[in-house]
Structure 1
């Protein structure tokens, strides 16, 4: 069997998630996290409940829309629908949106990143 090392170029995969935060590139981030083409950043705009996600909350994502094809939204432990207004704003900016639990979003992000896709993630903690 041949094992090929994955090259993430300048982007960093998610190393771990849980206990209210994330580890990316060896750095620990408490609370919600946005993984953008410019790099990981705390996402203080994120509300405590997924149902309260609004257009304004996604401002950091929309600012980098030209470099994002798909946004994975990790809704925490449970999946909830994204409010129509927020989904419409993201799609109008040319960003495809996929909603899932945070664990699934972390795993999917790493796979798409390894494929060289133009992916971003907005993750609520678990």
Structure 2
């Protein structure tokens, strides 16, 4: 008798620290967009101060299949201006903002549950 739930094949973060994170096969030391489906791509946002409305609009446009997007805002939780979040609202796509460490933990939980989650993680040095 099977007593455990099926675990979907997902991406998971196995370690993280200030300015880096580790996936099973690769270490990243630059900001990136990470999807539970295996998506891994650099994100040209090396600090919260370099975040722009255009970067968030591009992120929203590229996450059509996601259920939720996590924004890891760096060392501490910071929020973009509300007007910048309009592309997410227009797509009825949830955006949750938290510090990057919390976003890494939340990503693993949601991905482990089989949710379609994408994380945009700012890795500050």
- TM-score, structure 1 normalization: 0.81
Cα–Cα, structure 1 residues 6 and 34, in superposed 2: closer, same or farther, change >3 Å? Answer: farther
Residue 17 of structure 1 is matched in structure 2 by 16
Residue 64 of structure 2 is matched in structure 1 by 66
Q: CA–CA distance in 2 between the matches of 1:31 and 1:8?
A: 27
Structure 2 unaligned segments of length 5 or more: list them: none
| Number of matched pairs | 122
8 Å Cα contact 1:74-1:102 kept in structure 2: yes
Q: Normalized per residue, which structure has more strand?
A: 1
- TM-score, structure 2 normalization: 0.82
Q: CA deviation at 1:19?
A: 3.7
8 Å Cα contact 1:55-1:89 kept in structure 2: no
1:1-126 mapped onto 2 (5 Å cutoff): 4=4, 7-9=7-9, 11-36=10-35, 37=37, 39-44=39-44, 46-48=45-47, 50-126=48-124
Q: Secondary structure in 1 aligned to 2:15?
A: strand
String of CA shifts for 1:35-88, please: whole Å, max 9, x gaps. Answer: 1345111112x152x254223213553343321111111111111112223211
Q: CA–CA distance in 1 between the matches of 2:6 and 2:108?
A: 10
Q: CA–CA distance in 1 between the matches of 2:83 and 2:51?
A: 9
Structure 1 unaligned segments of length 5 or more: list them: none
Single out whichever of 84-93 and 101-110 deviates more from structure 2: 84-93
Q: CA–CA distance in 1 between the matches of 2:79 and 2:46?
A: 14
Q: CA–CA distance in 2 between the matches of 1:100 and 1:24?
A: 20
